[in-house]
């Protein structure tokens, strides 16, 4: 998807919200956003460990104590 298409979709969603034809559950949006950010952060941490120490270190970290 290109930037112009994304911009058009975002503009249409904003228009729907302004017309009240689109209900927004702010708690659900916030929970989804936080969940997504935590998942991205965890993925980056795993990538950092793998890059710095290798796959074996990541496997060791994941292993139950």
pTM exceeds 0.85, yes or no = no
CB 29 within 8 A of CB 37: no
Give the pLDDT score at 1: 57
> Taking the CA atoms of the chain, what radius of gyration do you get in angstroms?
19
In-domain check, residue 35: yes
Residues in the chain: 65
Q: Per the structure, how many domains does the chain have?
A: 1
Q: What's the pLDDT band for 15 if we cut at 50, 70, 90?
A: confident
The answer to whether residue 50 sits within a structural domain is yes
15 within a domain of the structure (yes/no): no
pLDDT in tens, 27-62: 898 999 899 999 988 888 888 877 888 888 777 877
Q: Any idea which residue has 């139950």 for tokens?
A: 64
Write out the residue range of the structural domain in which residue 57 sits.
Answer: 24-65
Rounded Cα distance between 65 and 58, Å, is: 14
| Cα(60)–Cα(51) distance, integer angstroms | 15
Using the predicted structure, report yes or no on whether residue 7 has a pLDDT greater than 80: yes
């Amino acid at each position: 998807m290109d930037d112009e298409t994304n911009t058009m979709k975002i503009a249409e969603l904003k228009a729907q919200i302004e017309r009240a034809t689109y209900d927004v559950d702010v708690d659900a949006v916030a929970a989804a956003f936080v969940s997504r950010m935590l998942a991205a952060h965890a993925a980056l941490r795993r990538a950092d460990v793998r890059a710095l120490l290798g796959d074996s270190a990541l496997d060791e970290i994941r292993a139950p104590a």
